[in-house]
A and B are shown apart, each in its own frame.
Chain A
């Protein structure tokens, strides 16, 4: 069977799905995208992008070390990401990217140190495992080949677990995110929730890394959520948009990567970025129309 793109999309999709590895890639991608859309929304809302990135980066030595030892890479991803989440949860600020000159700017330096050391360990494992340099690209930037049935099952279990837990803690978590002080006064256990969310984030990141690679997790974790936030401030609608964008970006990215010589990482990040730009442009146009709606007078300008 030859692989080729034509403009009959139905036959293209049929061709993609006739390969078992592509079927697995699509299944894994869909699970990961749905979970990313939801968890990523909370992550962006909680301004914990830096913590998410750190976990992704720490997953890399886990996977490289597991490969070096001959263990399943998935174990390395999940183990190291959860470990990273526990460390970050133990820090006082909970892994937020510091504002301008916040008190936790030093903490972000500590997280940065952790990140650098983790990557250095990953590099050590890769160089100990001779002749692994082509695998390095797959670990860092993702690949659509080589996702096994067992991996899909693990991703499904982890994904369902994350969504179930989030369905239970979603409301108090949103409360604690929007106004931590008031939530604490109303008896919400803010610190426990924060640690629990970091663990969910770790599971999500570990799963996503296996599809997009360690360095490109943000394409599914940040970009869809940021896109949704540009379009609406309502959490329910925002979550729906975020999941939709993540799933669309994954399907399109995997489909295009199948027919093109360039890796999935490039297509997924580019599609996600284009989506974000469209949302920014749409927001800007909508705001302009709101200000200069036909028939309404221009806003009064105070005379100085």
Chain B
């Protein structure tokens, strides 16, 4: 999975003292690209993910991550840039889910039926691509599914950072009304917030985020950056803006830690270490809130009363 030369680099990182080891790490161009693109993508995913969780649209995010796979493989089969298929597919389906879902949000059975078929289409394109392309068939599929942050080129990293910056600006513009519409849609609608347009636009934004994130951690491991950091942030604080910032920060921390860990132990693929770090963050946050007696005990007592 990792580029050649990582093995010796990893040994140096383990052998040398932390400061020289880290200096050596940052001197590697492919790691600079990975960290630059990873930071931008993680920040975007963490912030967007907070709204996804707040609005109860995790399942829709799940569906969009599967669309990302089909989009990328379709682009490969058609012989165009992979990212073109990624963004076109996810943004389009995101908009579609937002428009079709209407006020109540798309039915989970409908989402399930649609995304099973979209994945089936992905299988079709994969078979077509495998039959017609001369090189790298199985590896390409695995790369789209599980990502390869250490394999990001300089130009791809610059593009990823640029797109992430653009999407972050977009999120900053709609953040206030979106938070309002997420927390209390009725009151927001009464106060003149265009709730439906905002909802559809937001799902398109989630689609674009899914396309960005699948370049780093792969289409299937999106939840490491989209669901785990906000879940951890919600354990730690109940204030919206603070949780939003925390979610972004935790996602970035998971990527940094994950990249360093994967560099130190090349046996572990970076997508796995990033995912493991964000899961560990959530477990730590849940443990902390458990000891602080906030959240879960209140809900369980409510349950025992109902019974």
Q: Does A215 contact B (CB under 8 A)?
A: yes
Interchain CB contact under 8 A, A184 and B307? yes
Instruction: Tell which of B128, B183, B275, B307 touches A116, judged by Cβ atoms closer than 8 Å.
Output: B275
Q: Does A236 contact B (CB under 8 A)?
A: no
Given A128-B267, A222-B109, A226-B109, do A108 and B279 touch, yes or no (CB 8 Å)? no
Residue pairs across A and B with Cβ atoms less than 8 A apart, 23 shown, are A47-B109, A53-B62, A109-B227, A110-B227, A112-B61, A112-B62, A112-B223, A113-B227, A119-B275, A120-B272, A123-B218, A123-B220, A191-B307, A215-B66, A216-B116, A221-B112, A225-B109, A266-B127, A267-B120, A269-B116, A269-B117, A269-B123, A270-B120
Q: Does B54 contact A (CB under 8 A)?
A: yes
Q: How far is the CB of A94 from chain B (nearest CB, A)?
A: 11
Interchain CB contact under 8 A, B303 and A116? no
Interchain CB contact under 8 A, A121 and B272? yes
B248-307 CB contacts (< 8 Å) to partner A = 267-269, 271-272, 274-276, 278-279, 282, 296, 299-300, 303, 306-307
A262 CA to B121 CA, complexed, in Å: 10
Interchain CB contact under 8 A, A273 and B300? no
Q: How far is the CB of A255 from chain B (nearest CB, A)?
A: 16
Instruction: Tell which of B117, B221, B224 touches A273, judged by Cβ atoms closer than 8 Å.
Output: B117
A6 CA to B66 CA, complexed, in Å: 36
Given A50-B59, A120-B276, A123-B146, do A97 and B108 touch, yes or no (CB 8 Å)? yes
Given A106-B234, A113-B228, do A226 and B119 touch, yes or no (CB 8 Å)? no
A134 CA to B123 CA, complexed, in Å: 13
Interchain CB contact under 8 A, B56 and A101? yes
Q: Does B207 contact A (CB under 8 A)?
A: no
B1: A residues at CB distance < 8 A:
127
Q: Does B74 contact A (CB under 8 A)?
A: no
Q: Does B58 contact A (CB under 8 A)?
A: yes
Instruction: Tell which of A50, A104, A265 touches B62, judged by Cβ atoms closer than 8 Å.
Output: A50
Q: A113-B223, A119-B146 are in contact. List 13 more A-B contacts (CB 8 A).
A: A99-B104, A113-B278, A116-B221, A116-B224, A215-B66, A217-B116, A221-B112, A223-B117, A226-B113, A262-B127, A263-B127, A266-B124, A270-B117
Interchain CB contact under 8 A, A266 and B121? yes
Encode B91-133 as 1/0 by CB contact (under 8 A) with A: 0000000000000110011111111110111011011100100
Q: How far is the CB of B230 from chain A (nearest CB, A)?
A: 6
**Stretch from B21-29, B30-38, B134-142, B156-164 at the A interface:** B134-142
Interchain CB contact under 8 A, A110 and B109? no
Q: Does A72 contact B (CB under 8 A)?
A: no
Instruction: Tell which of B114, B120, B128, B230 touches A109, judged by Cβ atoms closer than 8 Å.
Output: B230
Interchain CB contact under 8 A, A269 and B272? no
Q: Does A44 contact B (CB under 8 A)?
A: yes
A262 CA to B126 CA, complexed, in Å: 9
Query: What does DSSP make chain B's interface, helix, strand, loop or mixed?
Result: helix
Q: Count residues on chain A whose CB falls below 8 Å from chain B CBs.
A: 64
Which of A112, A134, A262 counts the most chain B CB atoms within 10 A?
A112
B53: A residues at CB distance < 8 A:
105-106, 108-109
Q: Does A100 contact B (CB under 8 A)?
A: yes
A218 CA to B126 CA, complexed, in Å: 19
A54 CA to B111 CA, complexed, in Å: 14
Given A92-B300, A101-B56, A270-B120, do A123 and B271 touch, yes or no (CB 8 Å)? yes
Q: Does A85 contact B (CB under 8 A)?
A: no
Q: Does A202 contact B (CB under 8 A)?
A: no
Q: How far is the CB of A90 from chain B (nearest CB, A)?
A: 11
Q: Does B55 contact A (CB under 8 A)?
A: yes
Q: Does B208 contact A (CB under 8 A)?
A: no
Given A120-B272, A137-B126, A137-B141, do A49 and B231 touch, yes or no (CB 8 Å)? no
A267 CA to B55 CA, complexed, in Å: 34
Interchain CB contact under 8 A, B119 and A216? yes
A105 CA to B218 CA, complexed, in Å: 24
Interchain CB contact under 8 A, A218 and B227? no
Given A113-B278, A123-B272, do A49 and B138 touch, yes or no (CB 8 Å)? no
Instruction: Tell which of A103, A191, A272 touches B117, judged by Cβ atoms closer than 8 Å.
Output: A272
Q: Does B211 contact A (CB under 8 A)?
A: no
